[in-house]
Amino acid sequence: MIVLSPPARVCLLLGITLIVLAGSGGAFTAPDLTALYLGWWPRLVMALLAGGGLALAGAVMQQALRNPLATPTTLGVVSGTQFSLLVATVAFPGLLIVGREWVALAGGAMAMGVVVLLAWRSRLAPVVVILAGLIVNLYLSALSIVMLLLHQEKLHGVLIWGAGSLAQSGWDGVAFLWPRLLLAAPLAILLARPLDILSLGDAQARSLGVSLHYIRLAALGVALFLAACVTSVAGVVGFVGLAAPTAARLLGARGFLAVASWSVAIGALLLAVIDLLLQAVSASSPLIIPTGAMTAVLGGPLLLWLLFRLKLSGKPPLRQRPALPSSRHGSLKWGLMLLGLLAAIALSLGTGQALQGWRWFDLAHAAAMLEWRLPRALAAGSAGAILAIAGVIVQRLTRNPMASPELLGISGGAALGLIGALFLLRGATIPALVTAGFIGALVGIAVVILLNRRSGFIPQRLLLTGVAVTAIASGVQSILLAGGDPRGQQAIAWMSGSTYYVDITAAAIIAAVAIVSLLVVPLFSRWLDLLPLGATVATGLGLNTNRSRFVLLLVVALLTACATLIVGPLSFVGLLAPHMARMAGFTNARSHLLGAAGLGCLLMVAADWVGRQVLYPQEIPAGLVASLVGGIYFFIGMRRL
> Is the pLDDT assigned to residue 320 strictly greater than 60?
no
What average pLDDT score do residues 159-171 get? 68
Distance, in Å, from the CA atom of 380 to the CA atom of 378, rounded to the nearest integer, reads 6
**Cα-trace Rg, the chain:** 25
- Domains of the chain plus CATH, in order, are 32-307 (1.10.3470.10), 373-638 (1.10.3470.10)
Distance, in Å, from the CA atom of 84 to the CA atom of 273, rounded to the nearest integer, reads 30
pLDDT tens-digit map of 523-540: 888 888 888 887 778 788
Under 8 Å between Cβ of 83 and 304: no
What average pLDDT score do residues 162-183 get? 79
pLDDT tens-digit map of 430-481: 677 778 877 888 888 788 778 777 765 665 666 677 777 777 777 777 666 6
> Is the pLDDT assigned to residue 358 strictly greater than 80?
no
What burial class does residue 526 get, using C-beta atoms within 10 Å of its C-beta: 0-12 exposed, 13-18 middle, 19+ buried? Answer: middle
pLDDT tens-digit map of 226-261: 888 888 787 777 778 878 888 888 777 888 888 888
> Is the pLDDT assigned to residue 490 strictly greater than 70?
no
More confident residue, 108 or 122: 108
> Is the pLDDT assigned to residue 114 strictly greater than 80?
yes
DSSP per residue, 595-613: HHHHHHHHHHHHHHHHHHH
What's the confidence (pLDDT) of residue 385? 92
Under 8 Å between Cβ of 491 and 145: no
Residue 201 — φ and ψ, nearest 5°?
115, 155
Query: CB 178: neighbour CB atoms within 10 A?
Result: 16
What's the confidence (pLDDT) of residue 324? 46
> CA 100, 195, 7: angle at the middle one, nearest 5?
85
* Omega within 30 of 0 (cis) for the link into 617: yes
What average pLDDT score do residues 145-160 get? 66
pLDDT tens-digit map of 43-57: 888 888 888 888 899
Distance, in Å, from the CA atom of 256 to the CA atom of 347, rounded to the nearest integer, reads 60
First to last CA, the chain: 55
pLDDT tens-digit map of 527-585: 888 888 877 787 887 888 778 877 887 888 888 878 877 777 766 788 888 888 888 88
**pTM listed for this prediction:** 0.74
Residue 137 — φ and ψ, nearest 5°?
-60, -50
Query: CB 354: neighbour CB atoms within 10 A?
Result: 11
Q: How high does pLDDT run on average in the chain?
A: 76
What average pLDDT score do residues 295-305 get? 71
What's the confidence (pLDDT) of residue 589? 85
What's the confidence (pLDDT) of residue 24? 57
What's the confidence (pLDDT) of residue 389? 92
In order of 79, 166, 191, 369, 372, the CA distances from 362 in angstroms are 46, 56, 70, 9, 15
Distance, in Å, from the CA atom of 405 to the CA atom of 391, rounded to the nearest integer, reads 6
Q: Cα 155 to the chain's mean position, in Å?
A: 21
Helix (H) or strand (E) holding 258: helix 256-283
* Cβ contacts of 488 within 8 Å, gap of 6 or more: 159, 480, 481, 482
